[in-house]
Amino acid sequence: MPRKHCQKMIMNNTSSLRFPLILLTFIIFALPVKAVVTHGVHLSVNDSARRRPVDASVFPVPPANANTMFYLQRTTNTATLMYELNIDKDTGKPDTDDPMHVYWIRYNEKGQKEELNYIQRKFAYGLSQKSLGNDKYDIRFVSYKKFPLTLMKAADGKYHIFATVSQKLMALRSIFIKIEGGSFWLPNIVHVEMKGTDPATGKEFTERFKP
């Protein structure tokens, strides 16, 4: 297939192939990296000892929080990435520069919260965030900036993250990535599952992709 045609397909926001391509890039960086501080030196080491496949049915559901926009889990382990509103205490609205905050809940350890380290924040799980004005924000994964998400208030008066998936608008709630085997650089992704609600009807629905 000509390269120009491939690029055109990737740039199409409503293409059903787009999100799997995004997640494939995301997963290349997505295997957990644990931050370690030794004698004042910040190091990054691979926590492969904790990468044991987990059945989706045993994954914990993060506690209800009005500021949680969505969370991400993978079968590698139960460590969960949380994507929450970062509210400015003075205005009561999302911080203009950093409207969202990303952190771990390490269910695979003691369930503690943990900040992302530099590599995770800049190259994998972090977000590129930009104010669009009128209390609306452009949100993108740093690992694939071509996939736009929009943070804004819905008809219910609450903030939500919106994404277009398979030509459907979704108020995103969670992403689950099933991985079976493969390697660090080329994991075997069985499927990617997105859950959310239809903003027009409030009905929950799920979209599943095979990359």
* pLDDT score for 87: 95
What residues make up the domain containing 157?
Answer: 3-209
pTM: 0.74
How many angstroms separate the CA atoms of 147 and 45, rounded? Answer: 29
Q: Strand pairing partners for 177? A: 74, 192
* pLDDT score for 55: 59
Per-residue pLDDT tens over the stretch 150-209: 999 999 999 999 999 888 999 999 999 898 888 766 778 798 898 999 999 999 999 987
* pLDDT score for 166: 84
Q: Name every residue whose Cβ is closer than 8 Å to that of residue 195 and which is 6 or more positions away in sequence.
A: 172, 173, 174, 175, 176, 204, 205, 206
Q: How many separate domains does the chain show?
A: 1
Residue 18 predicted with pLDDT over 60: no
State the CB neighbour count (10 A cutoff) for residue 201. Answer: 8
* The two structure tokens encoding residue 164: 């277009």
* pLDDT score for 5: 44
Q: Strand pairing partners for 127? A: 141
Radius of gyration, CA atoms only, the chain: 17
* pLDDT score for 73: 95
**Banded pLDDT at 11 (limits 50, 70, 90):** very low
Per-residue pLDDT tens over the stretch 38-74: 233 232 333 433 445 555 567 999 998 999 999 999 8
Q: Name every residue whose Cβ is closer than 8 Å to that of residue 26 and which is 6 or more positions away in sequence.
A: 124, 141, 143, 144
* pLDDT score for 129: 97
Element of type H or E holding 84: strand 77-85
Element of type H or E holding 178: strand 168-182
Per-residue pLDDT tens over the stretch 106-143: 999 999 999 999 999 999 889 999 999 999 999 999 98
Assign 186 to helix, strand or coil. Answer: coil
How many angstroms separate the CA atoms of 103 and 83, rounded? Answer: 7
